[in-house]
Amino acid sequence: MTLNTEENAPDQEEGNSPDEEIIVEGEDFSIFTSAGVPVMAAELNTPADIKRVLEVALFASAVPLPVGTLRQLFEQDPGSDIVRRLLDELRADWETAGRGVELAQTGSGWRFQTRIEFQPYLDRLKNEKPPRYSRAVMETLAIIAYRQPVTRGGIEEIRGVAVSPNVLKTLESRGWVDVVGHRDTPGRPALFATTRRFLDDMGLRSLTELPALPEIERMMELVDTTDTEAVALAATDQK
């Protein structure tokens, strides 16, 4: 991915620093000027320089990047504390600017993402409708999220009805739920819990930030149901 820092910039005279564009290469996020000079070796002298490189790398990445990965951008490791402080500053910069994009920290790391209030506009560009899930799937997801780790029997106890294997397969195929172990009881039933991808899709750093179920539905573009909130409250009460 190439990011031009100046539009229609004139050619540099020989001997001048060729800083008209920054090139980000590969998954290791090696960053160079157009002449192949590493940015970190040639230009990183201040925290502002480091913050710009963090911004470029996060824009270039299709996945959230943890602090440990971001530290690998630099020839001289700035350390976790400095990187975290600069990320917080960068997040505040974008927040203050009032843009439609924000820097967010998720369970897997840091990423740029569109603000949720602008999602309805983006939906108009989609050719396919978002997936719509049954009430059984939503109720099961809510119980797992608020009660994890939980067995299929535990889910059925809260819902009051049997849980179809297809319901769990739907959640597993989406990457939101996985088997994390087995309970040490006769039959060794599987224990289900939400995944890091679930946190990333929700834009959460940890389960302590888990919102109320109606907010989950809005964020995940899931079908509205009338009973899922009551099920979520029941799952919370039985913790």
**Amino acid 179: pLDDT:** 93
State the Cα–Cα distance between residues 230 and 232, nearest whole angstrom: 5
Token code pair at residue 143:
């119980």
Q: Domains of the chain, with CATH numbers? A: 2-120 (1.10.10.10), 135-237 (1.10.10.10)
> Tell me, what DSSP letter sits at residue 198?
H
State the Cα–Cα distance between residues 234 and 138, nearest whole angstrom: 14
**Amino acid 199: pLDDT:** 85
Regions of the chain short of the pLDDT cut 70: 1-45, 128-131, 213-239
**Amino acid 150: pLDDT:** 93
pTM of this structure: 0.51
User: Are the C-beta atoms of residues 195 and 176 closer than 8 Å to each other?
Assistant: yes
**Amino acid 221: pLDDT:** 52
User: Are the C-beta atoms of residues 206 and 107 closer than 8 Å to each other?
Assistant: yes
**Amino acid 13: pLDDT:** 42
**Amino acid 219: pLDDT:** 59
**Amino acid 142: pLDDT:** 85
Q: How many other C-beta atoms are found inside a 10 Å radius of the C-beta of residue 182?
A: 13
State the Cα–Cα distance between residues 157 and 163, nearest whole angstrom: 10
Over residues 141-180, the pLDDT tens digits come to 888 988 889 999 999 998 888 888 899 999 999 899 999 9
State the Cα–Cα distance between residues 201 and 107, nearest whole angstrom: 9
Q: How many other C-beta atoms are found inside a 10 Å radius of the C-beta of residue 8?
A: 6
**Amino acid 94: pLDDT:** 93
Q: Considering the chain, what is the average pLDDT of its residues?
A: 76
Query: Half-sphere exposure (CA, 13 Å, Cβ side) for 165?
Result: 1
**Amino acid 201: pLDDT:** 80
